[in-house]
Amino acid sequence: MKKKAFKAALPYTLPICVGFLFLGMSYGFLMRSMGFSFLYPMFMSMFIYAGSMEFVTANLLLSAFNPLSAFLLALMVNARHLFYGISMLDKYQNVGWKKFYLIYGMCDETFSVNCTTEVPEGVDKGWFMFFVTLLNQIYWVGGATAGALLGYVIHFNTKGLEFVMTALFVVMFVNQWEDTKDHVPALIGLIGSAVCLFIFGSDSFIVPAMIVIILCFLCRNKVQGRRKQKMELLQSGDEEAGEKKEEVQG
């Protein structure tokens, strides 16, 4: 069962592997250029496991000690995970002890795969999501550690390399667009994010955009639910009318 789930999960994580290795190595190079041992990026990528926050932490370690500011900054940078977690409540049901690691190991890319991918028939859902999460974390930790080790002997300018993750998200978005017929959720995400970016600016648009997107999804689900109820009522009404007609004819 585990082997089958691993084989099913691996192909979905390979595109993420490329992005994680490049960006993880750039993070390792950055930490090493700041004078940190390779142990710092290795353990930070293992236990913090929040890419953008790890880059921020590199600067926090060299700045004045201010735990409250660091806490608020971490909360703002990773606030989107609150919405990720809410949307995964149903997915993480009935997976046993794996649920704790799935919660800990959820990142943007892992969320994208586990949320949208239909688990192949005959594959255990819990183990599939577990291996997606584990493989992605291994890629990230491996990339960060390798970058820091190479930083001892290679001096490399990592400016602009973070665009690899942006390109990765674009590829994943295009693939999901082509695989689904219903493009309304994708359009809601694009339009909601664009509007919030215009209103709040690039530094603080993520949380408002997530709120707008979730509210739109809730409204859409309510509308769809009402339509479904109406259809069921119409169908039940047609069935009752048919039964009455049969009784009259009988």
My answer on whether 157 and 72 are in the same domain is yes
My answer on whether 144 and 233 are in the same domain is no
My answer on whether 97 and 195 are in the same domain is no
Task: Show Cβ contacts of residue 81 under 8 Å, excluding neighbours closer than 6 positions.
Answer: 106
Q: What is the per-residue DSSP string for 131-190?
A: HHHHHHHHHHHHHHHHHHHHTTT-----TTTTHHHHHHHHHHHHHHHHH-S--HHHHHHH
Q: The tokens 């977690």 sit on which residue?
A: 85
Question: In which band, very low, low, confident or very high, does the pLDDT at 164 lie, cut at 50, 70 and 90?
Answer: low
Task: Show Cβ contacts of residue 238 under 8 Å, excluding neighbours closer than 6 positions.
Answer: none
Residue 249 lies in a domain: no
pLDDT digits (tens, 9 = 90+) for 68-89: 878 877 877 787 788 788 888 8
My answer on whether 40 and 158 are in the same domain is yes
Task: Show Cβ contacts of residue 161 under 8 Å, excluding neighbours closer than 6 positions.
Answer: 22, 23, 26
Domain boundary among 140, 165, 190: 165
Domain boundary among 165, 197, 229: 165
My answer on whether 125 and 34 are in the same domain is yes
Residue 247 lies in a domain: no
pLDDT digits (tens, 9 = 90+) for 34-64: 889 999 999 999 999 887 788 878 878 888 8
Residue 245 lies in a domain: no
Range of the domain at 40: 1-165
My answer on whether 179 and 161 are in the same domain is no
Distance CA 176, CA 116 (A): 8
The answer to whether the CB of 28 falls within 8 A of the CB of 150 is yes
My answer on whether 77 and 183 are in the same domain is no
My answer on whether 68 and 125 are in the same domain is yes
Span 121-148, mean pLDDT? 93
My answer on whether 13 and 136 are in the same domain is yes
Give the chain's domain count: 2
pLDDT digits (tens, 9 = 90+) for 167-214: 666 776 787 777 778 888 888 888 988 998 899 887 777 778 878 887
Question: Please, which contacts does 211-217 make with residues 24 or more away whose CB atoms are closer than 8 Å?
Answer: 211/83, 213/188, 213/189, 214/83, 214/86, 216/188, 216/192, 217/185, 217/188
Helix 108-116 / helix 2-33 crossing angle, nearest 10 deg: 160
Q: Is the pLDDT of residue 112 over 70?
A: yes
My answer on whether 80 and 196 are in the same domain is no
Distance CA 132, CA 125 (A): 11
State percent of the chain over pLDDT 90: 25
Residue 246 lies in a domain: no
Q: 118, 97, 107: which is closest to 50 by C-alpha?
A: 107
Number of Cβ within 10 Å of residue 146's Cβ equals 18
Question: Which two three-digit tokens encode residue 121?
Answer: 């028939």
The answer to whether the CB of 39 falls within 8 A of the CB of 161 is no
